[in-house]
Structures are given as C-alpha cells and as structure tokens.
A and B are shown apart, each in its own frame.
Chain A
C-alpha cells in the first residue's frame, strides 16, 4: 500500500514538475509547481515525518498563492495573447539536465550507502522539537536572523525609492 502510494506520488511529483516548464501560462505553471510540492509533502508523511510533511504542504500552498500574483505580474504571454517561446538553449539544457540525472541515478545505485543507525523514534516531531530547543538552537537563531535580514533587504530592494531615496537632481528628489 505504502509502496503504491510512493510510486503514484513520485510520478505525480515529477510529472507536475515537468508540467511547470511545459504549460504556456506562467500562472498555470505556479499551480503545477504547487501540485509537485504537495506530492513531495505527502511523500514526507510516508517517511513518518508528520510535522515536516504538513509544514511543507501548508507553507507551499501559501508560498505558491503569493507566487501566482508575481507570476501574473511578470507573465510573458498574458492570456495566451502573445504566443512566444519562453526558453533559450533548449537542446543544451536538456542535454545537461539529462546527463546530470544519469550521473545522479548511477551514483544512487552504485554508492554503498551506510547501514541504518538507530531506530525511528516513536514521535519524530517530539525529537525535532527537543532538538531545535536544545542542541540545534543556534541553527534556529541563525535562521531567525536570516529571515529578518531578508525582510529588510527585500523591502529595500523592491521599494520605488531604493536605498538612497530619490536622486537629488529630480524635482521630487531629496533636498
């Protein structure tokens, strides 16, 4: 049962991933990416990662809804009115990604992976919570700072006036 679910979700995740770059509309591509992330979220649930699976599912729903707005903003082919190619160097990209997949797949099957150490805890969510509130707290603190820095930096970059306000020469510029 779990194996069937794994393969169905795996094919779904990769299939929706391919759809991201096949569909014409960038808004549709966003929702294809969301479907791919949802499949991966359920795959994590299959690995007993209840918290991380639900986190990926909820976070990606929100992230892709926000992203859909940006996608519509920067859409290259709005409403299919301007049919155009959105790719460059398609053959080279296909060759590179195909050979990367072949190399990774060969590595997956040829590498002697280490034996399993330890056993899955009864409650993995409890163990990750205990970990980030204990020995891994520094990791979470650094992430917190990084989130704050990203908030500040993205607002500074995206605002109309920029880092130094308007240039002094302009009529509405700084005095």
Chain B
C-alpha cells in the first residue's frame, strides 16, 4: 500500500466511469458512470489525506464534501430525467441532444 497504488486504483475507477459516461445511451446509466468517477475521487482524496498531509483534517473534509455532492448530483439528475421523461417521453441521451450547450 502506497500513495501510488491508491492513486492507480482511483485512476482505474475514474476511467471505467468515464467509459460508462461516454458510451451509455440511457441517461440514468450515464449517471452511474458519473458516480463511478466520483468513487475514484473519494479514493484519491482519502489517499492524499493519509499519505501527504494527515496532520490537518482538510483532506477528510474534502472527501465529506465529495460524498455529499455525489448524492445531490444523483438527486438532481433523476429529477431532470423525470422532467424530461414527462415532457417528451425521452430517456436516452441521443434524443436529448438539443439540451447541450
């Protein structure tokens, strides 16, 4: 166990999540990819706290913020999908391309 191995795990989780976020058609599956990317960030944040500056609690607070923001992001994501589904009967990204910008 070292900083490098933990960061490697974080990079692997981030990349798998990125693949999902880029390739999935369903908007909810796309959000699963985003969750996996943030999962990698949690590992990286905790590893940086432990191996770089364990003296202060800043790293722990950062992980706490990341966990909370992940939950908020999911709630907002599902609300947007529900609104989109109600208005246009759309649940795949290809049909919602006009939302980009």
Q: Given A3-B1, A17-B13, A109-B4, A124 and B57 touching (CB < 8 A)?
A: yes
- Chain B residues whose C-beta falls within 8 Å of the C-beta of A153 in the assembled complex: 76, 79
Nearest B residue (CB) for A106: B11
Our pick among B16, B23, B74, B91 for the contact of A90 (Cβ within 8 Å) is B23
Q: How far is the CA of A70 from the CA of B79 in the complex (A)?
A: 10
Q: Given A21-B33, A33-B35, A124-B57, A86 and B26 touching (CB < 8 A)?
A: yes
A26 lies within 8 A of B26 (CB): yes
A70 lies within 8 A of B28 (CB): yes
Q: Given A43-B43, A44-B46, A108-B11, A128 and B23 touching (CB < 8 A)?
A: no
Summed over the interface, the residue pairs from A and B with CB atoms below 8 Å come to a total of: 224
Chain A nearest CB, measured from B87 CB (Å): 9
Q: Given A44-B42, A97-B16, A154-B76, A131 and B60 touching (CB < 8 A)?
A: yes
Majority DSSP secondary structure for residues of B touching A: helix
Q: How far is the CA of A156 from the CA of B33 in the complex (A)?
A: 25
Residue numbers of A with Cβ under 8 A of B are 2-3, 6, 10, 13-14, 17-18, 20-21, 26, 29-30, 33, 36-37, 40, 43-44, 46-49, 52, 55-56, 59, 63, 67, 70-71, 74, 76, 85-90, 92-94, 96-98, 100-101, 104-105, 108-109, 113-114, 116-121, 124, 127-128, 130-132, 136, 139, 143, 146-147, 150-151, 153-155, 157-158, 160, 162
Question: What would be 26 A-B contacts, judged by CB atoms less than 8 Å apart?
Answer: A2-B1, A13-B13, A17-B36, A40-B42, A55-B64, A74-B28, A85-B25, A86-B26, A86-B29, A87-B24, A88-B93, A92-B22, A100-B15, A101-B11, A108-B4, A109-B4, A113-B4, A116-B51, A116-B52, A117-B53, A120-B54, A128-B57, A128-B60, A131-B61, A139-B61, A154-B75
